[in-house]
Amino acid sequence: MRASRSTQASAIARIQILAGGSWNNFLTIHTGQRITTDREVHLNAVSPEFFATLGTRIVAGRDFDERDTLPVSKGGRPVAIVDEAFVKRYFGGRNPLGSRIAHGSGPDARPDIEVIGVVANISYRGVREEWEQAYFPIVNAEGGNFYEGGNFYVRVQGTPEAAFQSIRTILRNADPTLPVTYFRTLDEQVSRSLNTERMLAALSGSFGTLALLLSLVGLYGVMSFAVTQRTREIGIRVALGATRFATVWLVLRDALMMITAGIAIALPCIWALGRLVESQLYDVKPTDPATIATATLILCSTALGAALIPARRASAVNPTEALRFE
């Protein structure tokens, strides 16, 4: 596959990222003293160039190479690469290179796997997840077993469709009986992993739009009723020389007071209820100032627009007819 002209980089991984599945285990760490992870770590077995294929930065140390893929019985060394989240949680920012880890947390776990590199964090089960990860060479992961099945990751030039056809041909020539489940771009994988968030966003957006429309209808009705009730007062003001602007502002001021009161009540509710949906948000806080400011601006502008209709009607009141109004 690497020999193909359209291939820039390719690799194999045991676990498919952003697919919801995972391979987890506790790890024992030896850094001068023996400690165990306080929760399971996400693990993956990958081939050399996996991180280059995904465009993941190697922060310290090195990537796996062909020597690391040899079973221990044939001279390979048990090595591992961890991510920045792992280093932050268990090393406190200290250099982890040369430290040793082991699978499991029991007393028989022997930390003989050397940490040779640190990589930037990768989304594993989902884009919102922040969890520690450790990677092992795919051939000698857990005792030198090459796992049946796996996932090819290929960085290509050109269109995905052309790349898929080229990869199909390569795999067919290598082994016509090799089963291939599907081809998918990483963008499609990210999109699939966000299906739940997208559905929730659509539902919340629909409910939000409906709530906004109901509030606009309610505000329009209240202001229309208020103008009708104050027709005589407005007529007197106009007869005494009130300008159209002053009349419009008289109505809009009352609407603005109601809007301000509503916002004052809503802000504490946003802070309290935002915690309930925080787990469904990605890369944004429920109390994000920019988001709240934008929503407030939209609410104020549309609400004032709804109140402007009865306000303009009030400014067009004929003083003579208004004074006869009962």
Please list the residues that pair with 133 across neighbouring strands. Answer: 42
Give the per-residue pLDDT at 43: 92
Torsion sign over Cα 296, 297, 300, 305 = negative
Give the per-residue pLDDT at 142: 47
Mean pLDDT of 209-231: 85
Q: At what angle do helices 195-229 and 244-277 cross, to 10 degrees?
A: 150
Could you tell me what percent of the chain has a pLDDT over 70? 87
Q: Is the pTM for the entire model greater than 0.75?
A: no
Residue extents of the structural domains in the chain: 7-183, 190-323
* Residue 228 or residue 21, greater confidence: 228
Please list the residues that pair with 10 across neighbouring strands. Answer: 154
Give the per-residue pLDDT at 144: 47
Q: Which two tokens stand for residue 50?
A: 């996996």
Give the per-residue pLDDT at 251: 84
Burial 54-79 (b: 16+ CB within 10 A, else e): beeeeebbebbeeebbeeeeeebebb
| Mean pLDDT computed over every residue of the chain | 81
Give the per-residue pLDDT at 296: 86
pLDDT surpasses 80 at 52: yes
Q: What angle do CA 37, 81, 90 make, to 5 degrees?
A: 30
Each residue's pLDDT tens digit, 100-150: 999 988 888 888 899 999 999 888 776 666 789 999 988 754 444 444 557
Give the per-residue pLDDT at 143: 47
* HEC sequence for 236-300: HHHHCCCCHHHHHHHHHHHHHHHHHHHHHHHHHHHHHHHHHHHHHCCCCCCCCHHHHHHHHHHHH
Mean pLDDT of 4-20: 78
| Helix H or strand E segment including 200 | helix 195-229
Each residue's pLDDT tens digit, 292-307: 888 888 888 888 888 8
